[in-house]
Amino acid sequence: MHTSNEFEGRAVIDVLSSVAAPPIPTDAHAMTILVTLTPGSVGSPPHRHSGPAYGYVVEGEMIFELEGEPQRVVKAGETFWEPGGDVIHYQDGNNLQDAETKFVVTMFCAPGKPMLEVVPAEELEERRERRAPRPS
C-alpha cells in the first residue's frame, strides 16, 4: 500500500505500509532503533519479539525471513513488519557483500520482556517444519 497526502504545499506524507489491528501487547512500550549491518553480515541469530515490529530499509538490501514465509530481499525504500509473539524471525542479514545495509525498526515490547529473545537450537529443530523451503 502506498498513498500520498499533501498539506497545503507544506508537506507531503507518503504512507509506505500499514497493518490492520496489529497485536500490540497491553502496556507495551515502543522503541525505535537504527540497525547498521556491515557488508555480508548475517545479522541477528533466529529470534522473536514480544510485540510487533515495523521497519524501513534506509540503505542497501536486507534478507528477511519470518517463520512460515519464504525469505525475501527488502531493498532501500521498502518496508517490512513482523507480528511478534511466538513467530520466529529467522533472517535479517545484509544481502550485499560490498556495502552496508541500514534499517530503522520500531518495536512494541511487552512489559518486562527483552526487545529480542534468541531462539534456542532445540526449539529451532522442533519447529523446522514451520520454516518455508529454503532457496537452492
How high is the pLDDT of residue 93?
Answer: 97
Residue showing cell 548475517: 42
- DSSP secondary structure string for all residues of 55-110: EEEEESEEEEEETTS--EEEETT-EEEE--TT--EEEEEES-SSS-EEEEEEEEEP
How high is the pLDDT of residue 30?
Answer: 94
Neighbours of 31 (CB within 10 A): 12
* Cα 133–chain centre separation: 19
Q: Which three cell numbers stand for residue 49?
A: 519479539
Q: What CATH class has 21-115?
A: mainly beta
The shares of helix, strand and coil residues in the chain, as percent rounded to the nearest 5, are 5, 45, 50
Cα–Cα distance between 124 and 136 in angstroms, integer? Answer: 20
How high is the pLDDT of residue 9?
Answer: 76
Full-model pTM: 0.89
How high is the pLDDT of residue 1?
Answer: 56
How high is the pLDDT of residue 78?
Answer: 97
- pLDDT < 70: residue spans in the chain: 1-3, 136
How high is the pLDDT of residue 3?
Answer: 65
How high is the pLDDT of residue 12?
Answer: 87
How high is the pLDDT of residue 81?
Answer: 96
